[in-house]
Amino acid sequence: MLTNEQVLADINSKFGDYVTDVADPFGMLTFTTTREKLVDLFRYLYDHKEFQYQFLTTLCGIHYPDQVGRELGVVYHLHSLVQNHRIRIKTFVSIDNPLVPTLTGIYNSANWQERETYDFFGIEFTGHPDLRRIMNVDEMDYFPLRKEYPLEDQQRRDKDDRMFGR
């Protein structure tokens, strides 16, 4: 049976300088890598004789406005159907330069997931064959899942903050 320690040791032997923030929440190996090594790492995991992480189950965006220089991120979940083993990989970029290479050349399922992430977070996947909005209208000039707007209308006068524990 494949263990997180085996996978991490193998990845570290090849990409050790580019693997950070290693954790094991709820038993799932999780780490961060750079966008420069992203495609090489995923190709390695896909083609690996033993691991065979050939199923990209999830690709989604995240926004941490307080992490200067690392405001936007992409989280990937890979599954090895052969080994029945999953891992999580993250990469972070600046909101001023939200470029991440596409994984559509490795995983066909990345196509729509990258489009959705672009649509809602504005992360541009370089090399994507058809990067355009998938759910929102083309005329939108903002990305609705970024934390750039207050959660509620600050001008409301019809509510009493005491009723909400404030």
What pLDDT sits at residue 27?
Answer: 95
- Supply 37's token pair: 């090594």
> Mean pLDDT over residues 110-137, rounded?
97
Residues 6 or more apart whose CB falls under 8 angstroms from that of 62 comprise 72, 73, 74, 75, 121
pLDDT at 164 over 80: no
pLDDT in tens, 140-154: 999 999 998 777 777
- State residue 149's pLDDT score: 78
Q: Could you report the per-residue pLDDT of 13-27, keeping only the tens digit for each?
A: 999 999 999 999 999
Q: Domain residues for 27?
A: 4-164
pLDDT tens per residue, range 54-93: 999 999 999 999 999 999 999 999 999 999 999 999 999 9
Residue 39 pairs in a beta bridge with none
Q: What is the pTM of this model?
A: 0.89
Task: State pLDDT tens for residues 3-52.
Answer: 999 999 999 999 999 999 999 999 999 999 999 999 999 999 999 999 99
- Tally of structural domains, the chain: 1
Which pLDDT value is given to residue 162? 74
Give the model's pLDDT for residue 124.
98
CATH of the domain at 88: 3.30.460.80
Using DSSP, state whether 23 is helix, strand or coil: strand
CA dist 76 to 119, 128, 149, 166, Å? Answer: 17, 16, 26, 37
Q: What percent of the chain has pLDDT over 90?
A: 88
What is the spatial distance between Cα 60 and Cα 56, in angstroms, rounded to a whole number? 11
Q: What confidence score (pLDDT) does residue 84 get?
A: 97
Structural element, H or E, at residue 75: strand 72-80
